Amino acid sequence: MNSYNEVRQALDPVVGVPFRELAPALGIDLPADATRRKQAGGDVVEKVLQIAKNSIPKPDLEYLGTEVKTIPLNTRSRPREWTKISTFNIASVVAEADFRRSSVFAKLRSILFVPVMKTNNDAPDFWYLRPSFLWLPTEDQLVRFETDYQMIRTAAAAEDWGGLSSGSGESLTLKTSDKRTRDKSPELKRRAWWLKASITREICEQNLWPHKAIEERRDQLLRP
């Protein structure tokens, strides 16, 4: 897709459509297995936006330089879980010059978030998409990501496996819960970069329910 307008035109018609109707129309099977169920939202969005499944280190919307990520929400419109950003390769991270020239920064610099409303986390038939939004991190957020990145990069250079454990970092973190490597030694575990739910909640507050803007508008209306 060559413009965000094309992206909106593709996504808007399917917003609010229950997955039990949307998935069959797209030729997607909703998995009964809970471990695979989390992928349903991503599968739907990839199909709608015609994003190919591959491991090429390029943006999902290559022409726009933008990643596409689903973000599962509960009934209070709060993120249910962490958000995976990209795979983690210890040798590549150690070789990178700095955060703003890193592979994870390239993924974080521009993300189209597509919220998936999971009114019942165990019933994907009733999940549906909410309107997407484009997120560009603020300078404050980038500084926080950079702090987490530097801490993790230092641990990577020292091969400090404790520092490379799941949950390292305040906002940008690693996760090592890949089932295929769970029982292996630390140096053989597969890792990935993730955003913690605390930062995705902040992102949602900025874009889905901007309380500060609403309060400022309310104050303006109440002024004599």
State phi, psi for 204 to the nearest 5 degrees.
-65, -40
Residue 3 has pLDDT above 60, yes or no: yes
Strand 172-175 and strand 133-135: the pairing is unpaired
Angle at Cα 131 formed by Cα 129 and Cα 134, nearest 5°? 120
State phi, psi for 132 to the nearest 5 degrees.
-75, 165
Q: Which of 177, 150, 153 is nearest to 91 (CA)?
A: 153
pTM score of the predicted model: 0.86
Q: How confident is the model at residue 97, as a pLDDT? A: 93
Average pLDDT of span 133-139: 95
Q: Which tops the pLDDT comparison, 94 or 56? A: 94
4-211, CATH topology level = ECO RV Endonuclease; Chain A (3.40.600)
- Tell me the percentage of the chain whose pLDDT exceeds 90: 56
pLDDT in tens, 29-87: 887 776 777 788 999 999 999 987 765 568 889 889 999 999 999 888 888 889 999 99
* Domain-wise residue ranges, the chain: 4-211
Q: Which tops the pLDDT comparison, 221 or 11? A: 11
Q: How confident is the model at residue 166, as a pLDDT? A: 80
